[in-house]
Structure 1
C-alpha cells in the first residue's frame, strides 16, 4: 500500500526549443512532456524509492494513456486515477528565460477533467488506504471552484484518518481567476485559509506566505514562521524555499525549516547556480526531498539540507521531474558540487 499520496492536476507541457520565444518557435516544433506540481512530487519520491501514488482525473483518450504510462515508468502508482468522459487534459506552454529576460508560462487548462470532476466521484477510502502522507499544492484549488472544493474534501478526508498532510503553497497569480471580481490574491487567501487548518507541514517561498495568507512580509524567517504558526497552530513545521539571483540563468537557491516543537529554525547551505537548465519543478523536488527525509526519520537539519540539495539539482534537469538519485543528492549535501564526470 502506498505510503505517500499526491493529488492534483497533471498536464501536457509544451516548451519552445532552447531559449526561443513563442513567436520564433511557432509554427514549428515544441518539446512535449508531462508536468504538474503534485505529479512531479510523486515522480521524485518514486525515483527516490518511496512507495508513491498520484491521484487525479484524466479524460479517456490516447494522450492521457501516454501520461499515465509515463508516470508508471517512473514507479508511480496510478490505479486510483479517474478516467472521465467529461473534461480534457490541461496544457501549459513554456518559454524559457535567458539572461535578464524572465521565463513565461501560458496556461490552457480551463475545463480540464480534474477541474470539473466533483469530490463525490473519488473513492477516498480506496485512495487513502494505507496512506501515511498526503500531499497537495496551492495550484489545484487555483484552477476552478470545483477543484478548490475537491481539495478541501481531500485534506479533510486525510485529516479524519490522521494522515499527515503537506501543502506546497505555489501561488500562481494567473490561475486564481474563478470568482471575479475578487482579486487573485484575495481569492487565494480565502481559499488557502480554509485548507490549512487540516495541514501539518507548510511549504512555500516568502512570497507565497505573504501573498496567500495575508501575512506581513519579513526577511526574518523565524518571525515569519511564527506568524504562520500563530494563524495555524495545527502546523508542526514550516519549510521555505529561498531564491535570489541576477539573471534567469544565474541564481542562488537555499531553504529553511522551522520546527514548532523546539521553536528552532534550521537553515541549509546556499547553492550558487550559474547554468540553469530548467527551473520549473525545483520547488516540487524540494518538497519531495523534505517528505522523503521525514519518512527516513531524519533530524530537521538533515531534512532541510536534503530537500535543498534536491531542489538545487532539479535546476540541472530539463522538464518538471527531478531525475536525481538519493546518492547524487547526498553527494551534493556532503559538499561535492563540482560537477565532475563519474568514471
Structure 2
C-alpha cells in the first residue's frame, strides 16, 4: 500500500451552528473542530482505506493532545506531529453560506508554530523514510516567508528521494501578505512558480492556475459562475508545457448558481497518454457535472478531491487516469454533504456514486 505524507498547518475551526453568523452567536457558542487543507487530505485518504501521515508543527500543549487523539481515531499517523516550544495554534472562523449569501472565512493564524518553524528544524531524510507520496498545498507557503522556505525545502527533498509529489495550488488572498508592498497575486505567483519544478501532480480550482501561475482559461468568469469548460484543457496543457516534470494536471470545475446550489465536476490531463478527461459524464461520454443542491458544507471539498485523486492514482484498480478522475470527483461531490473540514466518505460510497447511485436512498 502506498504511504502518503502531507505537510501543512492544522487549525482549530470555530463555526456557528447551521447557517448562523458569528455575530449572531457571540457571546455564546461556537462548534470547535480541527481543520486544514493538508490534514483534510490525509483524513480523506485514511477514510478510504489508505495509509496516510501528517507532518506539522504545533505548540506542545493540551490542544495538540486533542489533535493527536482525533488523528488516531481517524487513522492518520501522528508520528510526524512536531511539538514546538514556539508559536501558537492557528484558529479560523467559518460561516456557512446559504442561497445568495456566500460563506466567509476569518483567519487568526499569525505567529503560529508552523509559521515560525524553519526548514532546518525538519529532518527531511527521516521524514520521508518509508513514504511513497508527498502532498503540499499553496496554503502553507502563504502563511509566512519562513513557512514558504520550509515548503520549498520539503518538495525539493521529497523529489530528490524519489517520491511522487503533488501540490494543490489553493490560492488564499487573505494569507499572501508576508512581504509588505508586494501584491498578494504577485507574491503567490513568484513563490508557487518556485515550487513547481519539483511537482509531479498539480491540483487546482477554476481560478488557481491564473492566480498562482498566471495561466488563465479563456472566456471564463469565475465570479459569475461562467466557465469555459473546454478552455481548461488548454490550461492543463500549458502547465505541463511550462513545467515538464508535471505528469498530471487536474482542475476542479465549480459553477456557483448560489451558495446552496453548485454544479461540480473536474478535468484531468495525463501526459503519458497525451489525453484529457472530464468527469462526470453521461452515457454518451459528454461532460455533465454533478448538480449539488442544498449544500451542507463546501469547505474541504477541494481537499477531498485531492485525497480522492491521490488514492485513485495510487490504487491499482483505480489508477487509470479517467477512472482516478471519476473517483476523485465523486469523492468531492459527497464531501458537500458532510459538515466540517474532514470528509468521512468511504471508498464503497464513492464507487457507488461513480456507478450512478446518486439518489441518496437509505442503505439498509
Same fold by TM-score greater than 0.5: yes
Verify: 1:331 aligned to 2:342, yes or no. Answer: no
1:305 matched to 2:326? The reply is yes
Answer whether contact 2:217 2:232 (CA < 8 A) is retained: no
Structure 1 residue 107: Cα displacement: 0.2
Q: Distance in 2 between matches of 1:267 and 1:320?
A: 26
Find 1:295's aligned residue among 306, 314, 333.
314
**RMSD (Å) for aligned C-alpha atoms:** 1.0
Partner in structure 2 of residue 239 of structure 1: 250
Structure 1 residue 2, shift from structure 2 partner = 7.0
1:27 counterpart residue number = 27
Give 1:278's aligned residue: 297
TM-score, with normalisation over the residues of structure 1? 0.98
Which residue of structure 2 aligns with residue 263 of structure 1? 274
Equivalences for residues 80-99 of structure 1 within 5 A: 80-99=80-99
3-state SS of the aligned residue for 2:211? helix
**Counterpart Cα distance in 2 of 1:176 and 1:16:** 26
SS in 2 for 1:206: coil
Cα deviation per residue 1:278-336 (whole Å; 9 max; x = unaligned)?
00000000000000011113211100000000000000000011101100000000001
Q: Which residue in 1 is equivalent to 2:156? A: 156
How far apart, CA to CA, are the structure 2 residues paired with 1:161 and 1:50? Answer: 21
Residue by residue, what CA displacement relative to the aligned partner does 1:14-49 show, whole Å, maximum 9, x if unpaired? 001111112101111001100000000001111111
Structure 2 matches for 1:163-242, cutoff 5 A? 163-218=163-218, 219=228, 220-242=231-253
1:2 touches 1:53 (CA, 8 Å); kept in 2?
no
Pairs within 5 Å for 1:99-138: 99-138=99-138
**Contact 1:2 1:130 survives alignment (8 Å):** no
Please tell me whether the aligned partners of residues 2 and 314 of structure 2 are also in contact (alpha carbons under 8 angstroms): no
Cα distance per residue 1:88-114 (max 9 Å; x no partner): 110000111111000000000011101
Q: What's the secondary structure of 1:228's corresponding residue?
A: helix
**How many corresponding residue pairs?**
343
Distance of 1:70 and 1:2 partners within structure 2: 22
Question: Runs of at least 4 residues of structure 1 off by over 4 A?
Answer: none
Q: CA deviation at 1:245?
A: 2.2
Q: TM-score, normalised by structure 2?
A: 0.93
User: Which stretch has the larger CA shift, 31-40 or 258-267?
Assistant: 258-267
Aligned residue in 2 for 1:64: 64
CA deviations on 1:245-303 (whole Å, 9 max, x unpaired) are 21111111101110012221111011001011100000000000000011113211100
Q: Residues 127 and 2 of structure 1: is their aligned pair in 2 closer, same or farther, counting only changes over 3 Å?
A: farther
SS in 1 for 2:207: helix
Distance in 2 of aligned mates of 1:164 and 1:327: 26
CA–CA distance in structure 2, aligned partners of residues 290 and 104 of structure 1: 27
Q: Which runs of no fewer than 5 residues in structure 2 stay unpaired?
A: 219-227, 281-288
